[in-house]
Structure 1
Protein backbone atom coordinates (compact mmCIF):
# COMPACT_ATOMS: atom_id res chain seq x y z
CA UNK A 1 0.00 0.00 0.00
CA UNK A 2 1.47 3.34 -1.04
CA UNK A 3 1.88 6.17 1.45
CA UNK A 4 0.05 8.59 -0.87
CA UNK A 5 -2.97 6.26 -0.99
CA UNK A 6 -3.04 5.93 2.79
CA UNK A 7 -2.74 9.68 3.40
CA UNK A 8 -5.28 10.75 0.76
CA UNK A 9 -7.77 8.03 1.68
CA UNK A 10 -7.45 8.76 5.41
CA UNK A 11 -8.19 12.43 4.68
CA UNK A 12 -11.17 11.39 2.55
CA UNK A 13 -12.45 9.13 5.35
CA UNK A 14 -12.21 11.96 7.89
CA UNK A 15 -13.73 14.66 5.67
CA UNK A 16 -16.50 12.51 4.19
CA UNK A 17 -17.26 10.91 7.55
CA UNK A 18 -17.59 14.32 9.22
CA UNK A 19 -19.74 15.59 6.36
CA UNK A 20 -21.96 12.50 6.52
CA UNK A 21 -22.42 12.67 10.27
CA UNK A 22 -23.13 16.40 10.06
CA UNK A 23 -25.89 15.65 7.54
CA UNK A 24 -27.30 12.80 9.65
CA UNK A 25 -27.44 15.08 12.70
CA UNK A 26 -28.87 17.99 10.70
CA UNK A 27 -25.95 20.15 11.85
CA UNK A 28 -27.35 23.67 11.92
CA UNK A 29 -24.52 25.43 9.97
CA UNK A 30 -25.10 23.27 6.87
CA UNK A 31 -28.83 23.93 6.63
CA UNK A 32 -28.68 27.34 4.83
CA UNK A 33 -26.37 26.00 2.12
CA UNK A 34 -28.58 22.98 1.55
CA UNK A 35 -31.65 25.20 1.34
CA UNK A 36 -29.85 27.49 -1.14
CA UNK A 37 -29.17 24.45 -3.33
CA UNK A 38 -32.84 23.44 -3.15
CA UNK A 39 -32.19 20.34 -1.05
CA UNK A 40 -35.02 19.45 1.32
CA UNK A 41 -33.99 19.03 4.95
CA UNK A 42 -35.68 15.62 4.99
CA UNK A 43 -33.04 14.43 2.49
CA UNK A 44 -30.21 15.02 4.95
CA UNK A 45 -30.77 11.72 6.74
CA UNK A 46 -31.43 9.61 3.69
CA UNK A 47 -29.98 9.65 1.12
CA UNK A 48 -27.33 12.33 1.75
CA UNK A 49 -26.01 11.53 5.24
CA UNK A 50 -26.40 7.80 4.84
CA UNK A 51 -24.52 7.65 1.53
CA UNK A 52 -21.67 9.90 2.70
CA UNK A 53 -21.23 7.91 5.90
CA UNK A 54 -21.40 4.57 4.07
CA UNK A 55 -18.80 5.87 1.61
CA UNK A 56 -16.48 6.84 4.47
CA UNK A 57 -16.88 3.39 6.02
CA UNK A 58 -16.13 1.77 2.65
CA UNK A 59 -12.98 3.85 2.25
CA UNK A 60 -11.93 2.85 5.75
CA UNK A 61 -12.45 -0.83 4.89
CA UNK A 62 -10.23 -0.28 1.86
CA UNK A 63 -7.50 1.03 4.15
CA UNK A 64 -7.96 -1.93 6.49
CA UNK A 65 -7.31 -4.54 3.83
CA UNK A 66 -10.37 -4.87 1.59
CA UNK A 67 -9.14 -2.91 -1.44
CA UNK A 68 -12.08 -3.65 -3.74
CA UNK A 69 -14.52 -2.22 -1.22
CA UNK A 70 -12.36 0.88 -0.90
CA UNK A 71 -12.25 1.38 -4.68
CA UNK A 72 -16.01 0.84 -4.97
CA UNK A 73 -16.64 3.31 -2.14
CA UNK A 74 -14.37 5.90 -3.77
CA UNK A 75 -16.17 5.47 -7.10
CA UNK A 76 -19.53 5.89 -5.38
CA UNK A 77 -18.34 9.01 -3.61
CA UNK A 78 -17.06 10.48 -6.88
CA UNK A 79 -20.51 9.97 -8.40
CA UNK A 80 -22.22 11.37 -5.28
CA UNK A 81 -20.10 14.52 -5.15
CA UNK A 82 -20.32 15.06 -8.92
CA UNK A 83 -24.09 15.09 -8.49
CA UNK A 84 -23.77 17.43 -5.50
CA UNK A 85 -21.66 19.88 -7.50
CA UNK A 86 -24.18 19.68 -10.35
CA UNK A 87 -27.05 20.37 -7.96
CA UNK A 88 -25.31 23.45 -6.56
CA UNK A 89 -24.55 24.70 -10.09
CA UNK A 90 -28.16 24.27 -11.20
CA UNK A 91 -29.30 26.30 -8.18
CA UNK A 92 -26.67 29.00 -8.88
CA UNK A 93 -25.43 28.39 -5.34
CA UNK A 94 -21.83 29.26 -4.53
CA UNK A 95 -22.04 28.76 -0.77
CA UNK A 96 -19.52 26.99 1.45
CA UNK A 97 -21.27 23.68 0.71
CA UNK A 98 -20.54 24.17 -3.00
CA UNK A 99 -16.85 24.62 -2.24
CA UNK A 100 -16.91 21.65 0.13
CA UNK A 101 -18.59 19.45 -2.48
CA UNK A 102 -15.88 20.39 -5.00
CA UNK A 103 -13.13 19.61 -2.49
CA UNK A 104 -14.66 16.28 -1.54
CA UNK A 105 -15.09 15.43 -5.23
CA UNK A 106 -11.38 16.03 -5.83
CA UNK A 107 -10.39 14.13 -2.67
CA UNK A 108 -12.62 11.16 -3.55
CA UNK A 109 -11.29 11.19 -7.11
CA UNK A 110 -7.71 11.14 -5.84
CA UNK A 111 -8.54 8.23 -3.49
CA UNK A 112 -10.14 6.39 -6.42
CA UNK A 113 -7.17 6.99 -8.74
CA UNK A 114 -4.64 5.94 -6.11
CA UNK A 115 -6.76 2.91 -5.16
CA UNK A 116 -6.93 1.79 -8.78
CA UNK A 117 -3.19 2.08 -9.25
CA UNK A 118 -2.54 0.04 -6.13
CA UNK A 119 -4.98 -2.77 -6.85
Structure 2
Protein backbone atom coordinates (compact mmCIF):
# COMPACT_ATOMS: atom_id res chain seq x y z
CA UNK A 1 0.00 0.00 0.00
CA UNK A 2 2.86 2.41 0.88
CA UNK A 3 6.47 2.56 -0.29
CA UNK A 4 9.44 4.47 1.15
CA UNK A 5 9.56 8.02 -0.21
CA UNK A 6 11.94 10.06 1.94
CA UNK A 7 13.54 9.99 5.37
CA UNK A 8 10.22 11.02 6.95
CA UNK A 9 7.48 9.66 4.70
CA UNK A 10 6.09 6.74 2.77
CA UNK A 11 4.08 7.34 -0.40
CA UNK A 12 0.93 5.57 -1.46
CA UNK A 13 -2.26 6.11 -3.37
CA UNK A 14 -5.70 6.02 -1.81
CA UNK A 15 -9.21 7.05 -2.64
CA UNK A 16 -9.72 10.27 -0.66
CA UNK A 17 -13.20 11.44 0.22
CA UNK A 18 -14.68 14.01 2.60
CA UNK A 19 -16.73 12.88 5.59
CA UNK A 20 -18.99 14.50 8.15
CA UNK A 21 -16.73 13.94 11.15
CA UNK A 22 -14.00 15.74 13.04
CA UNK A 23 -11.45 12.96 12.52
CA UNK A 24 -9.74 11.54 9.46
CA UNK A 25 -10.08 7.77 9.25
CA UNK A 26 -9.28 4.63 7.29
CA UNK A 27 -10.79 1.16 7.59
CA UNK A 28 -9.74 -0.56 10.83
CA UNK A 29 -8.14 -3.53 9.00
CA UNK A 30 -6.08 -1.12 6.83
CA UNK A 31 -5.10 0.89 9.92
CA UNK A 32 -3.87 -2.20 11.75
CA UNK A 33 -2.04 -3.50 8.68
CA UNK A 34 -0.16 -0.20 8.21
CA UNK A 35 0.73 -0.09 11.92
CA UNK A 36 1.99 -3.66 11.80
CA UNK A 37 4.01 -3.29 8.59
CA UNK A 38 5.49 0.17 9.05
CA UNK A 39 5.58 0.91 12.77
CA UNK A 40 6.46 -2.50 14.24
CA UNK A 41 9.50 -2.37 16.50
CA UNK A 42 10.11 -6.11 16.49
CA UNK A 43 9.90 -6.54 20.26
CA UNK A 44 6.81 -8.76 19.98
CA UNK A 45 4.46 -6.39 21.78
CA UNK A 46 2.98 -4.16 19.11
CA UNK A 47 0.15 -1.67 19.38
CA UNK A 48 -1.94 -1.73 16.24
CA UNK A 49 -4.02 1.30 17.17
CA UNK A 50 -1.36 4.02 17.15
CA UNK A 51 -2.68 7.05 15.31
CA UNK A 52 -1.25 7.39 11.83
CA UNK A 53 -0.39 10.73 10.29
CA UNK A 54 -1.17 11.20 6.62
CA UNK A 55 -0.65 14.20 4.40
CA UNK A 56 -2.98 14.97 1.51
CA UNK A 57 -2.45 18.11 -0.50
CA UNK A 58 -1.15 20.73 1.92
CA UNK A 59 -2.60 19.25 5.12
CA UNK A 60 -1.52 16.66 7.70
CA UNK A 61 -4.23 14.57 9.40
CA UNK A 62 -4.05 12.32 12.47
CA UNK A 63 -5.83 9.21 11.17
CA UNK A 64 -7.88 6.85 13.32
CA UNK A 65 -9.48 3.48 12.53
CA UNK A 66 -13.16 3.26 11.56
CA UNK A 67 -14.99 0.14 10.39
CA UNK A 68 -17.43 2.27 8.38
CA UNK A 69 -14.78 3.61 5.98
CA UNK A 70 -14.37 1.54 2.79
CA UNK A 71 -11.07 -0.29 2.32
CA UNK A 72 -8.34 1.67 0.52
CA UNK A 73 -10.05 4.96 1.39
CA UNK A 74 -8.90 7.92 3.48
CA UNK A 75 -11.93 9.82 4.75
CA UNK A 76 -11.01 13.37 5.79
CA UNK A 77 -13.16 15.83 7.74
CA UNK A 78 -15.19 17.85 5.25
CA UNK A 79 -14.47 21.03 7.18
CA UNK A 80 -10.71 20.41 6.92
CA UNK A 81 -10.37 19.62 3.22
CA UNK A 82 -7.48 21.76 1.97
CA UNK A 83 -8.38 24.47 -0.55
CA UNK A 84 -6.21 22.81 -3.20
CA UNK A 85 -8.51 19.75 -3.06
CA UNK A 86 -11.97 21.27 -2.45
CA UNK A 87 -13.28 20.81 -5.98
CA UNK A 88 -11.55 17.54 -6.80
CA UNK A 89 -12.74 15.17 -4.06
CA UNK A 90 -13.66 12.37 -3.98
CA UNK A 91 -10.81 11.02 -6.12
CA UNK A 92 -7.71 8.82 -6.05
CA UNK A 93 -4.77 10.78 -4.67
CA UNK A 94 -1.19 10.45 -3.62
CA UNK A 95 -1.09 10.19 0.15
CA UNK A 96 2.00 10.64 2.26
CA UNK A 97 2.26 8.57 5.44
CA UNK A 98 4.63 9.83 8.11
CA UNK A 99 7.09 7.26 9.44
CA UNK A 100 6.92 6.42 13.16
CA UNK A 101 9.35 9.13 14.32
CA UNK A 102 7.83 11.85 12.13
CA UNK A 103 4.30 10.81 13.12
CA UNK A 104 5.19 11.02 16.81
CA UNK A 105 6.58 14.55 16.32
CA UNK A 106 3.55 15.68 14.31
CA UNK A 107 1.09 14.18 16.81
CA UNK A 108 2.77 15.93 19.73
CA UNK A 109 3.00 19.21 17.81
CA UNK A 110 -0.70 19.19 16.93
CA UNK A 111 -1.75 18.36 20.48
CA UNK A 112 -3.30 14.94 19.82
CA UNK A 113 -4.93 13.86 23.08
CA UNK A 114 -4.14 10.16 23.15
CA UNK A 115 -1.92 9.87 26.23
CA UNK A 116 -0.91 6.32 25.33
CA UNK A 117 0.82 7.41 22.12
CA UNK A 118 4.46 7.86 22.96
Question: TM-score with structure 1 length normalisation?
Answer: 0.26
Higher fraction of helix: 1
The structure with higher relative contact order (CA 8 Å, sep 6+) is 2
Question: TM-score with structure 2 length normalisation?
Answer: 0.26
